[in-house]
Structure 1
Amino acid sequence: MNRITTEFPISSDLENYSYSVITGKEFIIPNKQSPEKEKFDHSWENLKKDNYLKDGKSFRYRQFRYFYFLPSSQKIVPFASTPYYQPPETNQYAEGIDRLFDSMTEEVINNAFLRELIKFDFLQLPVQETMKSTPWLLDIHQVRIVTTEAENGEPTPEGIHHDENDFVCIHLI
């Protein structure tokens, strides 16, 4: 079986605490997924600089793509390359502008490990049955933070914030 699994109670954590923290060791990744995971891990080395940081900062590298996820069929469909927008009320740092990040490469879009990770994440979410029959729009960001002696890396320069999403899954690679 190629499914990513865990024995950790992510769903109950989400229901009880609205978040869950799971270590990499608690993921059960089938050996068949190892080559795809390795390719996915390596893709972080090729991210381009995020040109939307202020004050000439350069600690964040990113690529981005919207996907549709169809829970009933488990189908994952990449959306056309589109700017990422957040209204100023949601993200004052980005000031309500369209941000056109580098689009994910075809290799990442079609990576079997990424696709299994998306399916795994969805299965953990405490959603109503009706939500399992409608398409979900996913905004998937690959972000790498680089810290140097000259510049601190800040995953979110604006600080803790809410991106208007019902659910957020963050994986440290």
Structure 2
Amino acid sequence: MRGLLETFGPLSDWSDFAGSWDSLEPDAYLANVGLHRRRRHAVFSATGETIAREPHQPHYQSRDYNTLQGGIERWFAPVPPEIADSASLRSILQFCRSFFGGLAPEVVNWHIELHQFRIEARAGEPGQPTPEGVHRDGVDYVLVLLIDRMNIASGTTTIHAADGSLLGSFTLTHALDAALVDDSRVFHGVTPVEPEDPAQASHRDVLVVTFRRRV
């Protein structure tokens, strides 16, 4: 994956990029149900080969795609400019534009959302990477890129057919391990994570990038 990304630009600031997960704000919406997640959010657009950041706006999913928190506008802390403009993120976005654009060459304009997620696991309180369960995101394509795992067990990605049957599973274990998902064809989820050593802090950090065609 590193080799693929570096064909679209450098990852020279990866350390600072990955380190930004240490200062994510709590997800206040999930706190209401006792789950521990931190996140930031940003919106971009892609026209041809040009990718531009859009004004900060809420993240919205219908209840058809998110039964837990769908149907409401959720305002998350914005990704700071130095991360949005970082070489690493720009390389990731250009890779996604090329890869997903190759799957849908008829699409000229894309709506892009990115989410920085940190899932925290505590003794007796497993972290829930996908608290909404096995789901679709309501977009065209999804990149899930692992940033870091610390003192974490499990967190297995599962891919399902429309009838719920399991098609396959795998675990993202090293930085830059990735899942590329055709959201119109399959459902996906991630199993709960637990600390390997309950006495120590633990987290699972991922970057999620979604592409949805503009109509």
TM-score (normalizing by structure 1): 0.75
SS at match of 2:88: helix
Unaligned runs of 5+ in 1: 7-26
Distance (whole Å) between structure 2 residues aligned to residue 75 and residue 108 of structure 1: 18
2:120 to 146, 149, 152: 146
1:118 to 73, 80, 93: 93
Distance (whole Å) between structure 2 residues aligned to residue 100 and residue 89 of structure 1: 20
2:75 to 100, 117, 125: 100
CA contact (8 A) 1:66 1:79 kept: yes
SS at match of 1:52: helix
Q: Percent identity?
A: 29
Higher RCO, 1 vs 2 (CA within 8 Å, ≥6 residues apart): 1
1:82 to 57, 63, 87: 57
Distance (whole Å) between structure 1 residues aligned to residue 114 and residue 94 of structure 2: 13
By percentage of residues, which structure has more helix?
Answer: 1
Distance (whole Å) between structure 2 residues aligned to residue 108 and residue 58 of structure 1: 26
Distance (whole Å) between structure 2 residues aligned to residue 86 and residue 152 of structure 1: 25
Q: Find runs of 4+ consecutive structure 1 residues off by over 6 angstroms.
A: none
Distance (whole Å) between structure 1 residues aligned to residue 144 and residue 91 of structure 2: 15
By percentage of residues, which structure has more strand?
Answer: 2
Distance (whole Å) between structure 1 residues aligned to residue 11 and residue 91 of structure 2: 12
SS at match of 1:89: coil
Asked whether 1:48 is paired with 2:25, we answer yes
Q: What amino acid is aligned across from residue 65 of structure 1 in structure 2?
A: A
Cα–Cα, structure 1 residues 92 and 47, in superposed 2: closer, same or farther, change >3 Å?
same
Asked whether 1:156 is paired with 2:133, we answer no
Name 1:39's counterpart in structure 2.
16
Asked whether 1:59 is paired with 2:36, we answer yes
Q: What amino acid is aligned across from residue 149 of structure 1 in structure 2?
A: A
CA contact (8 A) 1:68 1:136 kept: yes
Distance (whole Å) between structure 2 residues aligned to residue 122 and residue 5 of structure 1: 16
SS at match of 2:103: coil
Deviation at 1:41, TM superposition (A): 0.5
Unaligned runs of 5+ in 2: 148-215
Aligned-residue RMSD, C-alpha: 2.0
For this pair of structures, how many residues does the alignment match?
A: 144
CA contact (8 A) 1:59 1:152 kept: no
Cα–Cα, structure 1 residues 87 and 61, in superposed 2: closer, same or farther, change >3 Å?
same
